Each structure stands twice: as C-alpha cells, then as structure tokens.
Amino acid sequence: MILVADSGSTKTNWIALDEKGNTFFKIDTKGLNPAVFPKKTLYNRIVKKSELYNIKKEVKKIFFYGAGCGTETAKGYLKDVFEDIFSNAEIAIHEDTIAAVKSLQTDKPGIVCILGTGSNCSYFDGKDTHQKIISLGYIIMDDASGNYFGKQIIRDYYFNKMPKDLAVKFESNYDLSPDTIKERLYKLDSPNTYLADIGRFLIENKNNDYAQKVIKTGLRSFIENQILQFDESKKVPIYFVGSIAHFLHDEIVEVLSEYKLKLGKIVRHPINTLAISHSQNS
C-alpha cells in the first residue's frame, strides 16, 4: 500500500494506492504542518482517522507534500510522527512547492505560486525548484493567503474601515467579540487556520468594492514581495495552486496584467495529479 498526501495547515488530502497502483480510498484529515503543530497534535490527527489507522501495518511507502516542510528540521519532526504510526513504511517528505510543480505536469520553466491557508512562491527551471524567500509563516508573511485576508478584515472591522453594510453581514456570520478573537489567536491551537476561515468571508463577498480593494492589495503585495524576486518572472508563465487562487482567478489575471506578467494556469487540488504520478511508478 502506498499513501500520497498533499497538506496545508487547514486540510490534508490523502489517496491510498494498492500494489497495482489503483486507488484504494481518498480521504481528508486536518492539516499536518510541522512548523505550526506539536507532535501530539500531528499524531492524533492521523490516528483518529480510522481509514489510515486500520492500514498502518500495510503501508509500505508514504509520499508526503506539505506546508511547513521546507527545512530538514521540519521534515525530521514530521517523519518521527509517521514512523511511530507507519512502522513498515519508507517515508519521503517534500515541501508543498514540489507538489505544486508536479501538479502542473510541465517540464517548462515557470514561477509556481501557492495561495491557500498560507502562501509561497518558487521558480521551476524545468528540472529543479528554487526559492528566494524563506517563509517565516503566517504572522509576518503569507501575503494574499487565506489567513492574510482574515487578518486584514478583522483589522478593518475593528478600525471601522469596513463598509457598514458589510460589517453587519460580517457580524452575523462570525463571533467577533474581542474575547473570542484573542482567545482564538493567542490561546488556542491553529490561529492561522482560524484566520483563514475568517478570510473566506472576503472571498464569498468578493464582488463588493471594499473586498476587491483588499484582495487586489494582497495580490500586489504577493507579486512584489515574492514573484518579482525572480528575474525570470517577466519571461515565463506564472502558475498558481490552491483554493484561494482558484476562487480569485479573475483578480489574479487582472493584477498580473498590471505588472505585465502572464498567467499559466491555476490548479485547485494537486493531490489527483500526484496520485497519478505515483501510481504509474508503483
């Protein structure tokens, strides 16, 4: 049995393949970001999923692609968790940018961007990926991500910069009391996924003029802080992977054009292409 997983901070998509490369099951668990969650949380998120726990002895290989797996320390941290559960498996852990590149199914150069709960960017030269910026996570980076947009609209709501009609709608959808927000941000687990959940409100109301302004400001920051770090960005297509990118297709096209950048394509879920790739090599 082979397990293939694509993970962000919010959710992990899993596909199990049998010895012939056929899909045995597809499931989701909560996110498994080793840069954010303690080992106990990572462990529990896996073993509480019966489909995974029930085949733990049968799994021979694991191919895991995830947010927060950009350093050897983080990879080792997560590998320890997997080895405690899947004791018979060979384990390969890669950062999420590798999954993004594989999902594009191209051997041509391009800038590959991730916009989901968090954000990231790399240059694919046709063979290898290269990064200019080391991600420091959701508190000070992650421009144009779900958690970035969640942070922006909470700030605007409290600074009275959100239009009144939208603020009323915002209040009806979320508990925006200061005690709740501070508890979720500073006391409970997963503040980044909490912010990303709040950020969904902006996406759901993206046709509002205020929402358009916030969205495009975030995309411009991502382009200037990430994409334009690469001189190649003016010469090659810009690819995007992730749910935020999927829902902001039109805005991405518009803002890229401001910088004379060309969109390649947008892939919402890399997992299906990853599974095909590994099934062919099983």
Crossing angle of the two packed helices 72-85 and 39-47, in degrees rounded to 10: 40
Flag whether 57 is in a domain. Answer: yes
Flag whether 28 is in a domain. Answer: yes
The answer to whether 77 touches 93, Cβ cutoff 8 Å, is no
pLDDT of 277 reads 78
Long-range contacts, stretch 36-42, CB < 8 angstroms, 24+ apart: 36/9, 36/68, 36/137, 36/190, 36/192, 37/189, 37/190, 39/77, 39/80, 39/81, 41/189, 42/78, 42/81
Question: In DSSP terms, which residues pair with 17 in a beta bridge?
Answer: 2, 23
Averages of pLDDT over each 10 residues, the chain, 282 residues: 93 92 92 92 96 96 93 94 96 92 89 95 93 89 97 98 98 98 94 96 98 99 98 96 96 98 93 81 62
Flag whether 264 is in a domain. Answer: no
Helices first, then strands: H and E counts in the chain: 12, 10
Flag whether 178 is in a domain. Answer: no
Range of the domain at 54: 2-99+270-280
Residue type, 219: L
The answer to whether 134 touches 70, Cβ cutoff 8 Å, is yes
Number of domains in the chain: 1
Flag whether 215 is in a domain. Answer: no
**Domain CATH for 65:** 3.30.420.40
Flag whether 162 is in a domain. Answer: no
Flag whether 165 is in a domain. Answer: no
d(CA 81, CA 75): 10
Flag whether 234 is in a domain. Answer: no
Instruction: Give the number of other Cβ atoms within 10 Å of residue 157's Cβ.
Output: 19
pLDDT of 54 reads 95
Q: Burial level of 105, CB count in 10 A (0-12/13-18/19+)?
A: exposed
The sign of the dihedral angle between the CA atoms of 42, 47, 51, 55 is: positive
DSSP for residue 143: T
The answer to whether 77 touches 20, Cβ cutoff 8 Å, is no
